Chains A and B, each alone.
Chain A
Amino acid sequence: MSKTRYSAFKVLKEALTGHKGWEPTWRDAEPKADGYDVIIVGGGGHGLATAYYLAKNHGITNIAVLEKGWIGGGNVGRNTTIIRSNYLLPGNEPFYEFSMQLWENLEQDLNYNAMVSQRGIMNLIHSDAQRDAFIRRGNGMLFADAGCEYLEAKEVKERYPFLDMNNARFPIKAALAQPRGGTVRHDAVAWGYARGASDLGVDIIQNCEVTGFNIENGKCLGLQTTKGDIKAGRVGVCVAGSSGRVMAKAGIKLPIESHVLQAFVTEGLKPVMDNVITFGAGHFYCSQSDKGGLVFGGDIDGYNSYAQRGNLPVVEDVCSGGMAIMPMIGRARLLRMWGGLMDMSMDGSPFIDSTEIDELFFNGGWCYGGFKATPASGYCYAHLLATNSSHEVATAYKLDRFRRGAMIDEKGVGAQPNLH
């Protein structure tokens, strides 16, 4: 397929010539009989980004991405699209800042409009202790050149007059903002990376579920799939919420539990909030989509689940969080709600690592924060798959870190995945 470059000129030309010159964005492929140098399992954002960077940065192009459904049908198309690099710990913050820098150049790199919108994110502060903790976090961000801004209550109120500043239980005292944070059109990220990878020769194979691994003498030689066996020089698993059940087929148990996270969107409203706002005393966060809907979410449902749908108690919890900071949300009607599978790790941080089986690699444990990580995750996973060594910003993401006592626990809640 020839590579069509998207541009304003191309749009104009097509408009004048009856839109006959558009081609499929990427090529739908079937498995090759003689296999691949690298197979990526999972056509989510991370899998597609990995394939793209393997081809672009490392010149490895004999690659397949196997997806059991359709690309973009997993979490990459279910998340609330927030990107930020406002982490605290040294194992995390440089990685997420690297991701932010990749977002900032993503559309130019992919020649694809992913609607990267650096509208800013604002974390509300409700107590003096929380102010201290957030100032510490802000200093961590400054160390990593991520940038941040401390806002006094007066400034917060001026920017967002609808906030309930004097809520009896959770008054808003201040906020920590990251002006470079924001939102990205989530499924455009999947399509953009798919197009970039496909143009570099990567086979994207949909409706192809991996059902087993062909392992001999501790080495992975290929995969069993619903489209037959496929040989692979190297395999990179990248299936997010399905990590547990896929790796179990290779006999590997993980420090991960799968949980469900829900998200919500209201009817379209006139513009009221031009950034992302998060509640600091409960779990609620909100932004407004370009269509006007308030997109919001909160806690995970709290028990192991592979159901991709949630239960009502959490709906109530999330909505009461919303009412506590922005009571006007009670007037809006809810349009849609949905759930996705979270690969919740034991410390809330991810893994990009080799496994005890030769030529089998693992990427997962992204919890509810893996969308923002998509570019860096793909970049670093490609680095690992191509060079056998961790990229410098991902050295802490090892599977054995709990054995060594080297957890990266941002919240400090311990090995209790439903609290991260």
Chain B
Amino acid sequence: MIINHPLLGPRDSEEFVYLGSTDLIDRPTNWEEDASSEDFYQYQYIRDNIAGNHRELWYHEQGDQSWLVVTRNTITHEITNVELAQDVSRAMGRGK
């Protein structure tokens, strides 16, 4: 698979390390509350496991070491969008 890096252009997916769903950006922030254990459980262990377009985190380990959000179809492996994770994170109202 070729990942079209927003800064570096087309790169072989072998240069990257895969983490998982983009939901992993959205780490619960209520860790001081008792109720947070359920939120952390959902965050850490439960997955949508989508068959279709999946937004996922890839780390460019053998390149510029940036985190990317790749939109990839899990049935066909076709990649339709690649963004910098820091942009996505900011758009979610989080820090970079």
Q: Which residues of A contact B (CB under 8 A)?
A: 243-245, 248, 253-258, 302-307, 311, 313, 346, 402-403, 415-418
> Chain B nearest CB: distance from A338 CB in Å?
16
Contact indicator A257/B46 (Cβ below 8 Å) = no
Taking a contact as CB atoms under 8 Å apart, the answer to whether A304 and B74 are in contact is: yes
**Known pairs A255-B46, A311-B13; A245 contacts B77 (CB<8 A):** no
| Interface size bracket, B side | 20 to 34
For the complex formed, measure the closest distance between the CB of B61 and the CB atoms of chain A, giving whole angstroms: 13
Q: Whose C-beta in chain B lies nearest to the C-beta of A317? A: B14
> Chain B residue with minimal CB distance to A309?
B77
A307 touches B75 (CB 8 A): yes
Q: Are the C-beta atoms of A304 and B45 separated by less than 8 Å?
A: no
Partner of B47, one of A253, A306, A403: A253
Point out the residues of chain A lying under 8 angstroms from B76, CB to CB: 307
Whether A253 contacts B20 in the complex (CB less than 8 A), given A245-B51, A305-B77, A307-B74, comes out as: no
A415 touches B45 (CB 8 A): yes
Residue of A244, A258, A302, A303 ringed by the most chain B CB atoms within 10 A? A303
Interchain CA distance A163-B1 in the complex, whole Å = 33
Given B41, B49, B51, B72, which contacts A403 in the complex, CB threshold below 8 Å?
A: B41
The answer to whether B45 touches A257, judged by C-beta atoms less than 8 angstroms apart, is no
In the bound assembly, the distance between CA atoms of A244 and B74 in angstroms comes to 12
Q: A258 with B46: in contact, given A302-B18, A311-B1 (CB under 8 Å)?
A: no
Assess the B41–A305 pair: CB atoms within 8 A. Answer: no
Q: Residues of B at under 8 Å CB distance from A?
A: 1, 12-14, 18-21, 38, 41, 44-51, 54, 56, 72, 74-77
The answer to whether B51 touches A306 (Cβ under 8 A) is yes
Please tell me if the beta carbons of A304 and B54 are within 8 angstroms of each other in the complex: yes
Contact check, B18 vs A303: say whether CB atoms are below 8 A apart: yes
Selected A-B contacts with CB under 8 Å, 12 pairs: A244-B50, A248-B48, A255-B46, A256-B49, A257-B20, A257-B49, A303-B18, A311-B1, A402-B44, A415-B45, A417-B20, A418-B20
Nearest chain A CB to B58 CB, angstrom units: 8
A415 touches B46 (CB 8 A): no
A254-B47 contact given A302-B18, A304-B54, A311-B77, CB 8 Å threshold: yes
Residues on the B chain within 8 Å of A255, using CB: 45-47
Apart from A257-B49, A258-B74, A311-B13, what are 20 other A-B pairs with CB-CB below 8 Å?
A244-B47, A244-B50, A248-B49, A253-B46, A253-B47, A254-B46, A254-B47, A254-B49, A256-B49, A258-B49, A303-B18, A304-B49, A304-B54, A304-B74, A305-B74, A305-B77, A311-B77, A313-B12, A402-B44, A418-B20
Q: Contacts A257-B20, A303-B56 given: A244-B49 contact, CB under 8 Å?
A: yes
Provided the pairs A257-B20, A418-B18 are in contact, do residues A306 and B46 lie with their beta carbons within 8 angstroms?
no
* In the complex, chain A residues whose CB is within 8 Å of the CB of B44: 346, 402, 415
Give Cα A305 to B54, complex, Å.
10
CB distance from B69 to the nearest CB of A (A): 13
